[in-house]
Chains A and B, each alone.
Chain A
């Protein structure tokens, strides 16, 4: 029973590089979301999805892309990494809004 799996756990990038953070859940949840967590600022919503084929922007979407081709997977793409994107990224899923969210253990990303 894996829950929400995020890969990689750690990553160091150079400014301008692109990469994809992976998120997969095995609970058949419709709602998935990506957050970044910075010291003193709590979790900030980047993008979310209410089901396969549907995505929407959160509070801080600039510099990030998402897609939801399957119920299980919700990858987050950094198109051209910037030092300001250094953060811890969390993926979460729930059956729907109004339900408890299950979080992965995060990806710690450093942009040099």
Chain B
């Protein structure tokens, strides 16, 4: 069956460091992969989208990579700040959209 795994339920890092979040998938051939941020009590907010034929996408301090051979996406936040603390969700899109369970990131001052 299709499976999407975000490898860490929680990740704690120090302010200024780079946070790296992982999304692995099996039995899936997504056309797109998206990353979202979710704050407590709110709906997810879109961050980045990468297509299956793209290796890397950047937006300000955010970078996402997509390796369809490894079936893996990495999401990086450079120069992390306490305001980056949130849950980050990856989502794979084929005929519909499926989400991973998320990684809760805490950036400590």
Interface residues of A, Cβ cutoff 8 Å to B: 4, 33, 35, 40-45, 48, 56, 58-59, 90, 92, 97-106
> Which of B13-21, B64-72, B77-85, B99-107 touches A?
B99-107
Report the minimal beta-carbon distance from B50 to chain A, rounded to whole angstroms. Answer: 11
**For residue B96, which residues in chain A have a CB less than 8 angstroms away from its CB?**
33, 45, 48, 56, 58, 97
Residues of B within 8 A of A100 (CB): 34, 46, 49
Write out the residue numbers on chain A whose beta carbons fall within 8 Å of the beta carbon of B100: 42
For chain B, which range describes its interface: under 10, 10 to 19, 20 to 34, or 35 or more residues?
20 to 34
Q: Is B43 an interface residue (CB 8 A)?
A: yes
With a CB–CB cut-off of 8 A, which chain B residues contact A106? 41-43
Interface residues of B (CB under 8 A from A): 4, 9, 31-32, 34, 36, 41-46, 49, 89, 91, 93, 95-102
Please, which residues of chain A bring their CB within 8 A of the CB of B42?
105-106
A98 to B96, CA, bound (A): 9
Q: How far is the CB of A3 from chain B (nearest CB, A)?
A: 10
Nearest Cβ distance between residue B79 and chain A, in whole angstroms? 24
In the bound complex, what is the Cα–Cα distance between A56 and B91 (angstroms)?
19
Report 30 cross-chain contacts, Cβ distance below 8 Å, ordered by A residue: A4-B43, A40-B101, A42-B99, A42-B100, A43-B44, A45-B96, A45-B97, A48-B97, A56-B96, A58-B96, A90-B43, A90-B44, A92-B43, A97-B32, A97-B93, A97-B96, A97-B97, A98-B32, A99-B49, A100-B34, A100-B46, A101-B34, A101-B44, A101-B91, A102-B46, A103-B45, A104-B43, A106-B41, A106-B42, A106-B43
Considering the complex, give the chain A residue whose CB is closest to the CB of B45.
Answer: A103
Contact of A43 among B41, B49, B95, B99 (CB under 8 A): B99
Q: Give every chain B residue within 8 A of A48 (Cβ-Cβ).
A: 96-97
Measured in the bound complex, the distance between the Cα atoms of B72 and A67 in whole Å is 35
Residues in A with CB closer than 8 Å to B102 are 42
Query: Nearest CB to that of B42 among chain A residues?
Result: A105
Among B4, B31, B97, which residue has its beta carbon within 8 angstroms of that of A101? Answer: B97
